[in-house]
Amino acid sequence: MKKILLTVLSIFTLTLMQAGSLELYFNGAVVAHGSTIQVMGNPADEVIQAVVNVKNTSSAALDVKCKKLIHEGDTLPLTVNTFCWDLCFPPFTYISPNNVTIQPGETVEKFYGDYNPLNVIGISKVTYVFFDMNNVNDSTAIIVEYNASPASVTDLSKGVKFSEAYPNPSSSVVNVDYALTTTISKARIVISNMLGSRVKEIPLTEQSGRIQIPVSGFVNGIYFYSLVGNDQVILSRKFIVKR
């Protein structure tokens, strides 16, 4: 089973790029401009995929394009990488011919970075830049490391108990029962809304127990709650707030 690992490996300034009106999300968490995330899979996987959501934090609509940057030595020979920005493009497309209009405050789920390792073991790196086509300096970037390594794909969910939230739907409080294995550290529950924005984070200080999550301040809708440990999303489920 393919697992996705989120690690902020490095944050640095990218030449000619400025973080402005666009904000990126990965697994419900904000990703700082220029950060590196890692997605993991098996060399035999048909595709290792990075899903990134894009939010317009400005007060005006933006016509956003996507560009991929690959420097010499970034990708392994024989591997193939493509991306989708509303539409999907062949490997030789580096700038999306189309733009996606994002309204003020809107988060869109239209980006997929796809990597086919073709049984090649190792890491390939691709940088994706999202920019306003009417102001190319208004941009933000994310670096994705596609890690195809059978040794690195560990199933942390094995032996873990992470219950469905109850009551569900709920108007005031939801409960989640959990039990962790000793291989999991820095465990927490991260709650995100449908737009991918993180709304609450609860550290897990005990190896097992029950977490009570107040939701009376949440607006009606669907929420995702994820068990995160070892800087990796282990399991995700959802609950509904309804009054």
Q: Is the pLDDT of residue 64 over 80?
A: yes
- Report which listed range, 14-23, 30-39, 108-117, is most confident: 108-117
Q: Which range marks the domain in which residue 196 is found?
A: 161-241
Q: For 203-226, what is each residue's pLDDT tens digit? A: 999 999 999 999 999 999 988 888
Residue 144: give its domain's CATH number: 2.60.40.10
Compute, in degrees rounded to 10, the torsion defined by CA atoms 230, 208, 183, 236.
-50
Domain closes at, from 99, 134, 152: 152
Q: What is this structure's pTM? A: 0.58
- pLDDT tens digit sequence for 140-196: 999 999 988 775 445 678 889 999 999 999 999 999 999 999 889 889 998 888 766
Q: Are residues 17 and 113 in the same domain?
A: yes
Is residue 148 located within the same domain as residue 223? no
Dist. CA 128–CA 130, nearest whole Å: 7
CA-to-CA separations, 152 to 40, 146, 187, in angstroms, rounded: 8, 12, 19
What pLDDT digit, counting tens, does each position of 89-103 carry? 999 999 999 999 999
| pLDDT at residue number 15 | 37
